[in-house]
Every structure is written in structure tokens, then in C-alpha cells.
Amino acid sequence: MADEYRKARIKKNIVWTIAFFFAIIWLLVAFIPFLFMILNSLRGQGDMLQHGVFTLPQPFIFSNYPAIMKQGFMGYFMRSVIVVAISLTILLFATACASYPLSRMRFRLRLPLRALIVAMMSVPMHVTLIPIFKMANKVGIYDSIWALIGPYVAFGLPLATFILSSFMEQTIPKEVEEAAEIDGCGRYAMFFRIIFPLSKAGLSTLAIYNGVHMWNEFAFANTLTQSKAAKTLPLALSAFKGENTINTPLILAVLTLSVLPMIILFLIFQDKLVKGMMAGAVKG
């Protein structure tokens, strides 16, 4: 008996050792590109041409960062912040509004509507690209960040509604709602005082995923904006590339500063990453 127990223990240790081995390999695979990016953004152009990219920078220089600031990096950055802030606010509010009836009210069209909205997840943005380009031109917002908000919100809606309505269905107990109703709480007060506050965990998960997505969005931004004064961060890259063709360290500095805010926000909110997803994941 004791022998068998020891055998099982040894086997368990072996399995964990192998698992750790692969876990560390994937850790390196995930992290080395970042290391490569950060280290090489800290060297001079001549240093890179001379020593290649695998040595430590000699010497470490930080002048690439002020240099990109001088070339208008903050403009791209602020435009991205504005677009993401506005789009995300609209997206989260609209999603919460829609998820409330889709998860908690009884009416005939509830399930068909929900299925329809979820099915829109498979709509490729390219099928809407030319018409949205035309619309932006007609309304006169082409080549400004305002053209990006509508499509960013709309394309986040299907998945967000799916996740949040599952979340509301599973995490907010019916009794809370009933108790509020008995206390004379109407539907609209119910939404703002009870449903919305209780959905916070789900909403923060959605904010992380959609925020990352909007921050990095490329195709709409590339189609709907043209001038330097309207471009967002994902487009800054090609602009900087155009202006500094061979200066790779400088471009890597642009990349580093573009992901940095995402990494910082992620480190702060990472515990919210799974919670809101749970309801959407279990149901499938």
C-alpha cells in the first residue's frame, strides 16, 4: 500500500516536472518578443547595425523616446485614448441595456432576437467596409476619429451581448429582482439601481477585451482615416516606418509605448479577466 502510494507520488512529480518544462518554454515564447522589442528600443541605430540585435545595447540610450514624442507620438496616443474611451462607454451601456430584457424579461421575441444578435458575431467587417466608408464620406466625418466610433461599437456588440446576457442570467438571483419589485421598484429604476451595479464584474471583463480590441483595431482605422491628424496608434507605426525607414530601434520604441498602457491596465485589472467570462464559457 505504502509502496503504491510512493509510486503515485513519483509519477505525479514526473508529470509536474514535464508540465513545468513546457510551461517555461511557452513563457519564453510569449515573452522573448517583448524583451527583444524593449531592449532594442534602447539602443542607437549605429549600435544595432554594428552589433546586431542579440547583444545588450551598448550603451543603453533613451533618446529614442523623446525623439518619437517630437514626431507627434502623443497625438496618435491621445486620439486612440479618445476613440476607445467614447466607444467603450457607448458599447458597455448599450450592451447592458440590451442584455437586461434579453436575459430577464419574458416576451415572445426574446430568444429569436438573442440568437440573431449572437449570429452577427460571424459578420466579417469587410462586408460592411465599403458602405461604412461611403456613409462616413456622406456625413462628412471621413478622415476624423469620429468615423471610427460607430463601427467599433457595433462590431463589439454581438459577443458582448452574448456574454453579458449569460452573465446576468446566471449571476443575478431572481429573488433580488422580486424583492425590489415588491418594494415598488419599476423596471427602469430596477435597471439602474440593481441590474447595472450587479453586472459590474461582467462589464469589466467586457471592458478589457473590447478595450484591447479597439486600441489595436487596424482595418477600419486604415480605411476611414487618411491624414496624419486623424490617425490612431495602430496606424502610427506605418507612418513612423515611412519617416524613419532604417531606424528600427526608433520604431520599436513606438511599439513599446503603444502596448505599455495595455499592459499596465491589464496588470491592474487582470483578476477581472476570468470572472465575467465564466457565464459565457459554461453555457457555450
Partner 1 sequence: MAKQQKEMFEKPVKGTLAYARAVSTRKAAAVFLAPVILLLVIFMVYPIIDTFVTSGYRWNGISADKQWLGFFNAGSNWNELIHDDNFWHAFRNNIIVMVFSILLQMPIGMLLATFLDAGGKKLNIFKTIWFFPYLMSSTAIAFLFTYALATNDGLITAAATLIRGKRTAIDLLGRSPHALFTVIGVMAWQFAPFYMVYFIAGYSGIDESLYEAAVIDGATRGQYIRRVALPLLKPTIKAACTMSLIGSLKYFDLIWNMTQGGPGVTSELMATYMYKQSFKNFKMGYGSAVAAGMFILITLIALLFNRIFESKEDY
* Window 216-275: residues binding partner 1 (CB under 8 A): 216, 218-219, 223, 233-235, 237-238, 241, 248, 251-252, 255, 258-259, 262-263, 266-267, 270, 273-274
Please tell me the number of Cα atoms within 13 Å of 207 on its side-chain side.
Answer: 20
Stretch that binds partner 1, among 48-56, 60-68, 70-78, 172-180 (CB under 8 A): 48-56
Stretch that binds partner 1, among 33-41, 58-66, 71-79, 140-148 (CB under 8 A): 33-41
Kindly tell me which residue out of 7, 13, 14, 19 binds partner 1, with binding defined by CB under 8 A.
19
Kindly tell me which residue out of 23, 74, 78, 246 binds partner 1, with binding defined by CB under 8 A.
23
Kindly tell me which residue out of 65, 67, 81, 110 binds partner 1, with binding defined by CB under 8 A.
110
**Cβ-Cβ contacts under 8 Å for 142 (sequence gap 6 or more):** 133, 136, 224, 226
- Cα 258 from Cα 74, distance rounded (Å): 10
Q: Determine if 44 is a binding residue for partner 1 (CB under 8 A).
A: no
Indicate if the alpha-carbon torsion angle 29, 30, 35, 41 is positive or negative: positive
Which 146-185 residues touch partner 1, going by CB under 8 A?
150-151, 153-155, 157-158, 161-162
- Cα 154 from Cα 125, distance rounded (Å): 10
- Cα 141 from Cα 135, distance rounded (Å): 9
- Cα 70 from Cα 106, distance rounded (Å): 58
- Cα 248 from Cα 45, distance rounded (Å): 7
Q: Determine if 25 is a binding residue for partner 1 (CB under 8 A).
A: no
Stretch that binds partner 1, among 55-63, 129-137, 177-185, 196-204 (CB under 8 A): 129-137
